[in-house]
Amino acid sequence: MFKDDYANHCIRCTVHDCKYHSGKENYCSLDCIEVAAHEKNPTSEKCVDCRSFECKHENSML
């Protein structure tokens, strides 16, 4: 569930351009997120992504 004025203190996030960033603190506002690897055998943090990410400014980028 998404609540834009909520900070889930179990999910830290510094991606301010994400629609689900709490805005008030460096936390996500979702109850849970999906994290997935985009490589078969991930070896570093660059190999994984937050699949719950949605761009806050998606419409302005068109």
Q: Is residue 3 part of a domain?
A: no
Does the pLDDT at position 32 exceed 80?
Answer: yes
Does the pLDDT at position 16 exceed 70?
Answer: yes
Across 41-56, average pLDDT:
93
Residue 2 confidence (pLDDT):
64
Contact 27, 35 (CB under 8 A): no
Q: Is residue 30 part of a domain?
A: yes
Across 35-58, average pLDDT:
92
Q: Is residue 36 part of a domain?
A: yes
CA–CA dist 41, 13 (Å, integer)? 24
Single-letter amino acid, residue 58:
E
The boundaries of the domain holding residue 28 are 8-61
Q: Is residue 37 part of a domain?
A: yes
Residue 50 confidence (pLDDT):
95
What total number of domains does the chain contain?
A: 1
pTM for this prediction: 0.78
Q: Is residue 2 part of a domain?
A: no
Contact 47, 30 (CB under 8 A): no
CA–CA dist 23, 54 (Å, integer)? 14
Task: Give residue 24's pLDDT band: very low, low, confident or very high (50, 70, 90).
Answer: confident
